[in-house]
Amino acid sequence: MKALVTGATGFLGGALTNRLRKLGWQVTAQGRNSNVLKKFQDQGIDTVQANLEDKQALIAACEDQEFVFHCGALASDWGPPRDFLKSNVIGTQNVIAGCKKHLVKRLIHVSTPSIYFHTSPRINIKESDPLPATPVNEYARTKLLAEQEVDKASKEGMEVITIRPRAIFGPGDQTILPRVIDRLQRGVLRVIGDGKNVVDITYIENVVDSLLLCAEAPKIALGKKYNITNGDPIYMWEMLEKLCMRLGLKYPTQKLSYPVVNAAAGFMETICKLIPGQPEPLLTRYSVAMISISSTLDISAAKDDLGYKPRISNEEGFEEFISWWLRSARSTNYKGQFSE
């Protein structure tokens, strides 16, 4: 089996590339990070160093591929709109063009549940539920536009399946938990709201499982989108308290009002947009809502159509992350963008 993985130098793309190699697939890894690509080359994996907006490179990379796993994207809650447009929309258009030209058997597209996000609690969101009138940020807006490009390709006869994985974590994560740990270490994290918000998380290998299921899924799944989580929502602040206990960090006891912090974040966003270069604010409304508002997804469609069953539980995944962190993570720089 032959496959191209876009965004292979990222967290999810890298995990998928490694799994495919172990399964005996012939993999081509596309990404920008030359150091990670060199490691893939040392393992005998073909690589393409290119940006997603490089149309010719992306089209060429699709040649002779049976499957394309489109994991690449610009994932952040802040940044210039043109950067999101280039990576998330134009990049997806380029991947689709490559699949069409080289008659790729199936495209598996990684989207995001950020398109559902609203500043009020939403529980058991289905793929068919109404979306907010206005996307929460440029990441959500451009990923929704990317989905629309995939929908067009599906209507034209291309075999495509889309997944929307939520809050991916595990060994190798450079974003979600590491960013929280960084704030805990610096003593700047506060409990926002009542601390009772419920959220979904997804262990990295479970997401990889779902991608492999998409590759072999029956025709009933073609053209559809699927929520992917661990299927076991958690109280987020209880998890962070456990994280503090395991790492010897001080758990934040001070609580702040969500409306007050949200208003402050909105003010910071407004100011930063007026500053040349639009530097990232200390807080964004998205990041505030992420840690203070309940949001869970219904994954019954993925279970029914794909046969998806979360193989690694929240507890097992959490222990794997902690073990990896204690073993290797402290020597790494953890500034990064959030990951879905």
Q: Does the pLDDT at position 97 exceed 70?
A: yes
Residue 285: predicted pLDDT = 87
CB hemisphere CA count around 213 (13 angstroms): 23
**C-alpha dist (Å) from residue 92 to 73, 122, 279, 312:** 9, 28, 26, 30
What domains are there in the chain, each with its CATH number?
2-170+201-232+297-311 (3.40.50.720)
Residues 332 and 174 sit within 8 Å (Cβ to Cβ): yes
Phi-psi region of 187 (alpha: psi -120 to 50; beta: other; left: phi over 0): left
Determine phi and psi for 29, rounding to 5 degrees.
-105, 120
Lowest mean pLDDT, pick from 36-40, 148-152, 175-179, 331-335: 331-335
Question: What is the percent of the chain where pLDDT is above 70?
Answer: 96
Residue by residue, what is the 3-state secondary structure of 293-321?
Answer: CCEEECCHHHHHHHCCCCCCCHHHHHHHH
- Pick the catalytic residue from 139, 226, 258, 286: 139
Can 258 be counted among the known catalytic residues? Answer: no
- CA atoms of 305 and 264, how far apart (whole Å): 43
- CA atoms of 72 and 13, how far apart (whole Å): 7
Give the mean model confidence (pLDDT) for residues 311-323. Answer: 96
Residue 221: predicted pLDDT = 98
- CA atoms of 238 and 196, how far apart (whole Å): 8
The model's pLDDT over 224-262, given as tens digits with 9 standing for 90+, comes to 999 999 999 999 999 999 999 999 999 998 899 999 998
The model's pLDDT over 21-32, given as tens digits with 9 standing for 90+, comes to 999 999 999 999
Residues 98 and 153 sit within 8 Å (Cβ to Cβ): no
CA angle 83, 157, 162 (to 5 degrees): 45
The model's pLDDT over 158-197, given as tens digits with 9 standing for 90+, comes to 999 999 999 999 999 988 899 899 989 998 889 999 999 9
Residues 75 and 139 sit within 8 Å (Cβ to Cβ): yes
The model's pLDDT over 65-91, given as tens digits with 9 standing for 90+, comes to 999 999 999 998 888 899 999 999 999
The model's pLDDT over 128-155, given as tens digits with 9 standing for 90+, comes to 999 999 998 999 999 999 999 999 999 9
